[in-house]
Amino acid sequence: MVIISEENKVVTLINVFTVEPENQQKLVELLVEATEKTMKNVSGFVSANIHKSLDGERVVNYAQWRSREDFEAMVKNPEAQKHMKPIAQIAKADFHLYEVADTFELS
């Protein structure tokens, strides 16, 4: 169970991929493969959560890392970079690191 909370001691990566609808499922598969084969074994990995938009135009990876430093080390990891190449060929990524500012739930 992946939990969103202001009290979680993680940094959140939200990576928004813009993709042609005909490539959306392929992109999901590449992200799943990258996560299973590489990311989840990288030091500092906490979670990855792959989302596909109902209109086919976006894929979002909502991911959690232990720290900004762990995330930045992963970006420079050659094995991780190998997975990013085919992804970059079919999608445009907009990624930023975030902190949780506030959360609300149905009471």
The footprint of a copy of itself (CB under 8 A) covers: 1-5, 11-12, 14, 16, 28, 32, 35-36, 39-40, 45-55, 57-60, 62, 68, 94, 96-107
Q: Residues near 28 by Cβ (< 8 Å), separated by ≥ 6?
A: 50, 52, 59
Spatial contact of 93 and 87, defined as CB atoms under 8 Å apart: yes
Question: At its nearest, how many Å lie between a copy of itself and the CB of residue 78?
Answer: 21
**Residue with smaller CB distance to a copy of itself, 8 or 86:** 8
Give dist(CA 22, CA 14) in Å, integer. 22
Question: At its nearest, how many Å lie between a copy of itself and the CB of residue 94?
Answer: 8
Nearest Cα to 17, choosing from 100, 78, 84, 98?
Answer: 84
Question: At its nearest, how many Å lie between a copy of itself and the CB of residue 88?
Answer: 19
